Amino acid sequence: MEQKWVVFSLGSNTYGIDVQSVRSIERVQPVTRVPNAPAHVKGVINLRGVVTPVIDLRLRLGYDAVEPTEETRILIASLNQGDAGFIVDRANEVVESEDVRIEPIPESSRDMLSAHLTAIAKGEDKLFSLLDANALFEEQHAE
């Protein structure tokens, strides 16, 4: 069965999420803050009449915050709990399964990110980690 992923960047790292869960890729727009939300929850946007929560994936995955650039995008994904937006540094491309080999996450890489990672995709000129969009949106475990 052929799969496709939307591949995006956070800093120098590259990730992918299943294209079937991505509804759209939007330019950054003003976000309304939500009181008492975790730091990685930027707030909500009104996307074509639908109030959509927005998560800064940099903060969610432990990266330092950065100011948005011309390339910053919001990936709108359909999740178990409804739609959510993920702020990413750059949306790169759509990659098809025939272009990559899917491998399990190595034991040596099992750290705090592994809860969100499902596999590693390797191709001739591609290497990216596959993320579980639903796991990214669900509440963080008690620290």
Q: Are strands 82-88 and 50-56 parallel, antiparallel or unpaired?
A: parallel
Structure-block tokens of residue 9: 């960047």
User: Smallest Cα–Cα separation from 87: which of 138, 11, 18?
Assistant: 11
9-51 pLDDT per residue, tens:
999 999 999 999 999 999 999 999 999 999 999 999 999 999 9
What is the phi-psi region of residue 43: left when phi exceeds 0, alpha when psi lies from -120 to 50, beta otherwise? left
Per-residue pLDDT reduced to its tens digit, 27-38? 999 999 999 999
The confidence band for 136, taking pLDDT boundaries of 50, 70 and 90, is confident
Q: How far is CA 117 from CA 15, 91, 130, in A?
A: 9, 18, 6
pLDDT-derived band at 124 (thresholds 50, 70, 90) equals confident
Helix (H) or strand (E) holding 120: strand 117-122
Stated pTM of the model: 0.88
